[in-house]
Chains A and B, each alone.
Chain A
């Protein structure tokens, strides 16, 4: 049950940084594996996003 969390503790962090760029820079300084997302709020409103999520799930 805790396999995924255990993986994190055993492998060390491999990080997707979403937000403050400084956190990504600090990870690189410590030679950790990381990628930094250029995140912006979706142009689609919450409503549309929810409907799109539904669409995605429906197909399979």
Chain B
């Protein structure tokens, strides 16, 4: 009979000792393992075009036009519906994507490496706010922006990152997350401090490597205008760290939590490659003016990796500014974090919360504790419009559904009780 406590201790230690740093960039087709032509990666557990929600479909349509596989949204739809595209979760390729999370072959990605265990992770660059692919928008401006990111943003950042690696001064994303937590970020809905820290760190390398000051200025302005630029890097850091904790025999810790707008899915360290899925939650969040709950798409995005990593909704006690989204008091924000300690294996060694006397964030979700207590992870996330192309409708607190955890707990009992 396995020693669950020991296994979970081992898995958590692998997660906590991970050291994700930025080691380079590349085009997805050249860099992301298993990426193929006419393949699109997406957020969440496996899906098909038939089951895909509005934001995913919109993102797919935008990607098809960006890649030149289709000229119009209608043609893109036909292509996708006709089976002309292979869909695969980002998670199957050591990658993560926020909201629709679509990664296409030509998109540039960041490459992060976990210096402790050597595993790598991949993520695209964050497009910014408003009409963006990750929210399911596919208007011409979306495609234009993607092209600019490929032609200008990517080369400038890539050159700077190469230099940082050459000099042995790789960007330490985990360190930035730890600092950002003390500056009002929780690293899911608020990434302002993280973005500032990233820009500060990379700026000298950009200046040294970029010969075109107009491009450089555009790049810096772009990052400056996008408070969520750091989110993607933080997600990749999370992915590299949690993946290192996967595959520990007898461990009941969650290494993946992800949503695709239709389903919510998790993976567990000691349960191999299996996804445990159920219907994704319907967010009940603070809505932007003009939108109603009927407009909201089900929960979507790989950004749940942040909570799997021990931040985001788990670190609400560190982000008093978020409180306006939940219409409560700072005490309510703190109570969410306190609740998460009840379903996690331990406290983080590097991510600490000043308001809780620098207590480490709750880290390492245990499916057995979720099953026993009935407490499910709380996420602090954005909500998309259910129709493709309409963008974001709001943001706030969303509870993950229990069913997936119960299925996983049942499977865990099946596997490890040996009856």
Contact = CB atoms under 8 A, between A and B. Distances in A.
Asked whether the complex places CB atoms of A and B closer than 8 A, the reply is: yes
Interface of A: 40-44, 48-49, 51-52, 54-56, 58-60
Nearest to A40: B374
A34 to B, nearest CB: 17
A55 B406 contact: no
A58 B371 contact: no
A43 B6 contact: no
A41 B375 CA distance: 11
Nearest to A54: B417
Given A43-B371, A48-B406, 11 more contacts: A42-B372, A43-B374, A43-B402, A48-B371, A48-B409, A51-B413, A51-B417, A55-B4, A55-B368, A58-B2, A59-B2
B371 A42 contact: yes
A49 B370 CA distance: 11
Interface string B381-414: 0000000000000000000001000100110110
20 contacts: A42-B374, A43-B371, A43-B374, A43-B406, A44-B371, A44-B406, A44-B409, A48-B409, A49-B371, A49-B372, A51-B410, A52-B372, A52-B409, A52-B413, A54-B417, A55-B416, A55-B417, A59-B6, A60-B3, A60-B5
B410 A48 contact: yes
Contact of A59 (B5, B402, B406): B5
A44 B372 CA distance: 7
Given A44-B406, A48-B406, A52-B368, A58 B374 contact: no
A58 B5 CA distance: 11
B1 interface: yes
Given A48-B413, A54-B417, A59 B371 contact: no
Interface string B1-28: 1111110000000000000000000000
A49 B417 CA distance: 13
Closest 5 CB pairs of A and B: A58-B1, A59-B3, A51-B413, A44-B371, A43-B402
Nearest to B368: A52
Q: Chain B interface: which size bin?
A: 10 to 19
Most chain B beta-carbon contacts within 10 A, residue among A52, A54, A58: A52
Contacts of B412: 55
Contacts of A49: 371-372
B1 A59 contact: yes
Contacts of B374: 40-44
Contact of A42 (B2, B373, B416): B373
B413 A59 contact: no
A47 B372 CA distance: 12
A60 B417 CA distance: 14
Contacts of B4: 55-56, 59
Contacts of A40: 374
B368 A56 contact: yes
B249 to A, nearest CB: 12
A54 to B, nearest CB: 6
A52 B370 CA distance: 11
A38 to B, nearest CB: 9
Contacts of B406: 43-44, 48
B3 A55 contact: no
Nearest to B414: A51
Contacts of A56: 4, 368
A51 to B, nearest CB: 4
Contacts of B416: 55
B271 to A, nearest CB: 13
